[in-house]
Structure 1
């Protein structure tokens, strides 16, 4: 059974819920959400003496588990499912502990569950439409929002951070994992796997369900459209959503005459309370009272005249109501009384009189309708919006109904209930009991308390406390006489004699306080000792930044040493905060050592301090010169600065160095040594002291790059390049930063200057296809360019890549520069050897402040992992870098292409042109054999390094899939994959790959998609049927330029010697594109190639009849050339 409830109170391990019809239930903490239960199950048992967990601990901690008091405010409405109903007598619920009041006692019998998987179990994916409301649990916190658990298979919810701020979550910055929230569906993605939701309270409250596919998708709390079908004395009968039955009892109808306010056939909006199960047809209980419709707590005018107060504040438990009027009698259940306009109360039949009443009559007797009685508030039915009252005289005469009414320090009388060895239990009034501990039996210890305190004896309760005044706030405080006597050094008897009323007491400290009752417990302030603060006296309220504290080192973690100050307070000591000179200090103090530190910052949420043992912090007046300064942020670093730190981690792409508490620097593999070192990891270990220079500082991302290599003057010079250092005609090295349709953006190596190389500056051949040349470039390609022009006002640079701009000497000098090495003066890197045998920290350079370039830092981490990444090696062929686009395409073809031995061709005319291009390049390579022997040998080595590692020809499906992950938009790779399948006779597999390529390639890459379509047409022409070829042709014509596809198919048929079909295709194309001179020209060339001169001549007059006058000249010239 699913039901709507309202949170009454929150216990440490359970929720108390108010249900319809004056019922109460409880929800164990393990039945709130699956995520919260998982956190509780995985939480380790904390030892009393264990320190707080360090930041690096990945396991769950108490701080990560949300507190029920923070996520469930009293008055919140929840959707629940009944999980258990305990029979009378079996009311023990371990999560509730001992019942403190009647509400907790009444809630023990019914157990509920709020887990979305159970509450939303009957909701299907098709029910998730805009406006549908349901409960969800926070599953995880992502970069842009929260992933929610809706309890529906294969569907997850998403709540953005921006939308979460609209929810009724108070000042919570982030919702904790496991929190339960009410959401309203905004939209669901096309694949139906993600549902975007809103938590705006108005949206959730006003969302109405107008139609539904199944009765199981109607959840409690849903606002529905209903039709009144009958008005009866007990309430209304409704038709819900046109199909299902519903009822509203009088407790959930608006005040007033039911027959006057509601008519048969009237349409009303009501909120579902619960489903009446089992029932056929399905029926629901609903409510139309204002506070349920608005999903807000019930408000009422107080008995003292206050307005708009909550029900508990307006009528607290124990309040006496002088006159309430009986308005309705339920013979076997009780009375309904009117307290004020719009507010009713319920008196159970057992609370009508102290004597047994078997039944009630509405027309006769002492409690008939219209009679007025005196009543007392004994409780609240929050969801029904009414009060729980009692007419019993014994209840009206009680002094206390609950413990909260007892005033601290009040002198009262009570009846002894029982005496045990541990305490005396006294009945104060009704259900309120008190306990007296043995040290409060009398002023002196009683040897035989059983003689004085016998059951049934009335005892006057006194307290061994002195009531004092703390001016000017007039706050009542309790001070132990023993504590005051010890402070003054007198006996207790002497203190009672000397202590006078209105005497002022000084040096008092608050021990505990109770703001609700307006009193505090105080004690005398202890005498101060001129020494370091004792561990027991430390607390977060008194500790201040800059204070010196003492503690013991517990262990070492990723953030440094964990220092225990007290049983509940700890601190972290970062290695860079231990000393001013890393050579002489102890960056990692031994475990169990005692140290003295100064407080740098305080994290009160985690109860953790940030500490420092630097002498410059502890003794600022006596501090000597600081050799290793503190690094608090990236603003403390600058390029070229020499710094020292400790290795935090040795990773595959390099090492990470701790420079400060919040600053780590990365050192790439190529920046570790001047020379190539194969086994570089063996030279480094965690917590090792190293020295390096700052290569670059990214202030936005707060990232720092360092180098251990010696100073490279040429590289340093390049790093300082500015616009003023450049001139027109200068030749520079760079990399392709971005590729556009109109050209390339090139970034100059060693600087952040970039400029445009227009596509017209790529090739010396004016007839070359520059679009093809642009496609041959990839981002991060290394190139050599010449500066054509510099606009210093607009800070724009124009580059050129034409081969005519360069000579062979330009590339040789570039190689010589790359081969040059520098000395080892100013060696950086390891300061403390791993074995701690020798210390090389004094071998630093005199030019430590020389700036270091940033050009070598721009490479990818994958390049750094290569063991062959030597400083003198160039990772690509110089000819490829500076050649035209056609040359680059040729080199790629020579190294990567798969040759098709079965005569299969992917394109017709284009393949022939590519073959000619390859032949031309081979001749060019033969002419270059006269170069220097040394340079040729170096290039052969470079080809060996790169070809084997990066351009190895794919030989299996796995190889192709791996390569395609890196270049999903490359039609070249997709077509090779297709040809590979055809070589092993997997025709159907090749078709699937082609279709997959068309779905994968980005829609902006039109040329790439066209290449795949042409390949697919070739495949169908060679291996398919006429029907499959025609279907593929029509599909390709719809997705691409239709004329281009028509001509490509005709060319394919012509090349495959299917001349008759090619002729038909040309005729078909001319009929469809009769206004195109190109179509007629190619048709004529088709006839001429076949020797059909007469047919070619006949095309001329036909074309002239269809073409416009401006296009006829091209046809006539073509005809003259053919003759």
Structure 2
């Protein structure tokens, strides 16, 4: 809901004032509505919006038809050289409170002020900008009262209008304020002191309007000029012109150079300190020269001998082959001697890692990959694995993947995949390891080692059922000639970290299908000797010696059986094995005769 003020030329002006929307409520009006210049009085506080910023000042919207102007010296108590700063802190449309300084009803001009002392509001420019303050120049005037006591009158004048264009800032006649301005950085500041007699005005006389002359003769106190270094010549010319315009009886102004210091004591102290420093330096030089002169020939020879001994010790230490490297320079020398040795490069990386210098360790690894010959594939692979370990421990997942992708490009992919799986498993990142194994099973389906490594990983995690399912998948994916070997390897893994009964069943089923596979029998015997009972082992030996195998293979099994009985059995069991061997020999010889 809103109130329509006017509708002219297709432009509609609206109002949201509660006094217009609900006039019956008689609510308090915070901001009096300004419709014409008659509603504005000098000294009144008004609120409005920033309309624009021009070189002549800030234009302030009091209503739809009235604009007021704020001179830059009335915007803020700080001196601003670049007006672009006003545009930053006084954007168009910003709501502010201003004080009416003057009203010209004929020309409809309204002068406003945003100074804190006028509005009671904080300055529009923050103090944190470190801008210099405008100074308040105080002028003393004496008034004669025709026989009465003379009483001083102080009048404070604002002189800011020209300061923004010329860079001149009037300051009160106090030495401390001038000194602070004098020490501002990057700009040269020249202080001009002018001492003049104060004008005496009779008590009854009417004050005359003061005219501003080029030399500003009626000013007294200190005037501080800000000038850039490029404008020094212009200042000198202006000073010459002003000296010509002075009155004959007027004293010339004193010009102070940049080297001027306010405190005489400090200047004296600086000179004394300089003298002391020079004297101390000269004394030290004289002492050194006297010491050199006092050295005799024998002393010089002794010094030479000491230096030679020290050099000999250093050389002997460097030539010692058993000496362990203790610095980066030592490792650099070793690496230069054998650049293709991955062990030295890995030790160099470990040296930096002990000092928590991760970036240097990475740099050493990259340097090793560039230095090692391309023919030394295994040496390079060792460095790649070390770099993968480094990124896994101290890097992020992104850096690890980048190194992994590079390693796959420069090495055999299967080896790199397997090493990364081992790294994940050793660092207990089982989820990432399992995901990588699934990727490997898709990419390297025909590789037996991939299935076996994944089975070992699952058994270590206690996933026996998953291992059984994995064996079925492996037998489907791998060629038939690999089945026996894969089953036996799975059975061995089951014996070590899985279900022993299931492992025995795998061996028994394999041997029943392939009874003449002596390698499987040997593996089964070895595992049962370690994990089974003596009765089970003897049963396996009895089954083997009654097979119809080649004589050489039978001799091998009889010998193993005899060794086992000698170690774990009794004399009777040893004799029983010997009898069985004799019987086998007799049967074979009889068959040969027939």
TM-score of the aligned structures, taking structure 1 as reference length:
0.16
The structure richer in helix per residue is: 2
Larger Rg: 2
Q: TM-score, normalised by structure 2?
A: 0.30
Q: Which one has a larger percent strand, Structure 1 or Structure 2? A: 1
